[in-house]
Amino acid sequence: MTDHELLDLSTSAERTSLAWQRSGLSMIAVGALLIHSHTKLLSGLAGWTLIGTGLLTTALVGPWRYRAVLVRVRSGTSPAAHGVVLLAAAVVCLTALVTVGVVLFP
């Protein structure tokens, strides 16, 4: 493996980590918006859930996925982690449904 190939492999790990960080920061922003714009308990819980999930995603999942992808790509195996993606999608979708319910049925 040449240095150029290794550089390309490590950038895929970096892109994955940055994507998780962007997702986490987006969840924090939407959670803060929910808390700020609505006074109901349900929207507050949805907002705090998004903020907590975003903090965990940014602080823990991003760096963890960076290392995991780097190890897997260097070993020649697939870096896909379907369970992590499904869990994050489930939390965001559930929070979105609660938010829609709060906004449409005040």
Residue 105: helix, strand or coil by DSSP? coil
DSSP 8-state code for residue 39: -
| Tokens standing for residue 68 | 């995991």
pLDDT tens digits for range 33-71: 888 877 777 778 888 888 998 999 899 988 888 888 888
What is the C-alpha separation between 56 and 65, in angstroms, rounded? Answer: 12
pLDDT tens digits for range 81-105: 778 778 878 877 887 787 777 777 7
The answer to whether the pTM exceeds 0.85 is: no
What is the C-alpha separation between 12 and 71, in angstroms, rounded? Answer: 11
